[in-house]
Structure 1
């Protein structure tokens, strides 16, 4: 714990810079907490223990809520105070967080375009994650083993490839939701997954609002378009068929 308190190295005299550094470090630790439970859920699904997986996903959601709450600390920072130290950040950005990217990869968002080759070299865990099935891959394999008609091309697909929404999987989730009592384990798993996806999107949306409040239309510190870029990635949804099938029920 003492080592943790020695890690902060502000570059300005602004007390708000220290607050910015501290809350950023808290978010990193919470990313790890969320990843820990999501990875636990994946392991239990490999064993076809959907109840244990749901309990891990419930813990994931609790940590996600704490993560979203971190934005309230930054949201209280006056914009003029933020501008006092923003330039000292240089090109530093939350988009460089290897733990955040590992979390996205684990849940199933495997977009190589957002990861630089240097990052894959510097963080071997990212490359290793791309070589194993994501949480959603294991969900689909578990459902197939339980007897649901999951399309075969989804259960043996390349785990490193970006997942594309599938109409066949949409029909599987529709069948589960039309007969929840007949598919109780799958239904409960679906609801837990959707809550994880909802909380992730909630985090992204709150991030966008805080950035708009602090920076307006300024570019991001890592060279992104700032709010427009955040608005675009906020359109992404984990476990996509769980969202789209609701329009067809």
Structure 2
């Protein structure tokens, strides 16, 4: 005697039961989509403001993940746990690539379209992003003046100030080299972490020790290349930022009070891990 296949009505009822999420956590519940998808509140009547809002909100989400990975990577470098740090640094670089491509979408906004929403932005500007400032500080681009935009929000200022006072990723990398017995100038091992990093020939020599004998210093060599990948991606992001801004608003001043394109072009000259780049001429 063979089993009979279930009747069509039974199949329908079973499928309905499988699609009933009223008694358990659903996809939307887990991701809190009600809050996320209702957080876009255009202030202007212009159609294109939705693009502007979503672009910046998604960028802030990617930056949240970037900080999550970057803080953990710095901690693992400080504990000599390089394999774990490499995974996180690779992810940070891939996140930065996502942010680079995000400019392609914003670049579809034309100057007249941006001009229609600009009056509604008041003084709000990406210059005021506390997450972006924490990323810059964690990567070593320290500047006390950049604390001021967050002074009116004590809880945010505390986060930015903590990143400002902590050793950067590069600082921890140099301390690791010293722990491995590679000569690093003492001035770059115990210093005021709030000060901008200054390149030093002694640090270049330390990295050259690694790069001239990769087989002996393989994980340190890989660390150098992870740092190279990260700065490479960051440079691309900065370049796409300035070109997109110039394409959309020309040379007008930024809404946050900066010089706009002129300010962003200066940022193209900032080098985060200088000796990692200069050593290549000496190899």
Give the TM interval when normalised to the shorter protein.
over 0.9
Is the CA contact 1:44–1:53 (under 8 Å) kept in the aligned structure 2?
A: yes
Which digits, 9 at most, give the CA deviation of each residue in 1:183-241, with x for residues without a partner? Answer: 11111000001111111111000001101111111111112111111000111011111
Identify which of 188, 193, 203 aligns with 2:222: 188
Q: 1:37 maps to which residue?
A: 69
* Count of aligned pairs: 249
CA deviations 1:100-151 (Å, max 9, x no partner) are 0011111111111233171673411111222322211111111111111111
TM-score, normalised to structure 1, is 0.95
Mark the CA change 1:111 to 1:119 in structure 2 (over 3 Å): closer, same or farther. Answer: farther
Higher RCO (C-alpha 8 Å, min separation 6): 1
Of 222, 226, 231, which aligns to 1:197?
231
**Which whole-Å deviations, capped at 9, do the CAs of 1:60-102 have from their partners, x for residues lacking one?**
1111111111111101112211111112111111010000001
In structure 2, distance between residues paired with 1:78 and 1:130: 36
Across the aligned residues of Structure 1 and Structure 2, the Cα RMSD in angstroms comes to 1.4
Distance 1:16 1:97 in 2: 22
Uncovered stretches (5+) of structure 1, i.e. residues with no partner:
none
Counterpart mapping for 1:192-231 below 5 A: 192-231=226-265
Partner of 2:79: 47
Counterpart selection for 1:154 from 159, 183, 188: 188
Mapped pair 1:25 → 2:57? yes
Q: Which residue of 1 aligns with 2:205?
A: 171
Q: 2:115 aligns with which of 78, 83, 107?
A: 83
Contact in 2 for aligned 1:134/1:159 (Cα 8 Å): yes
Taking the TM superposition and a 5 Å limit, the aligned residue runs for 1:224-239 are 224-239=258-273
Is the 1:120–1:127 Cα contact (8 Å) retained in structure 2?
Answer: no
Structure possessing the higher radius of gyration over alpha carbons: 2
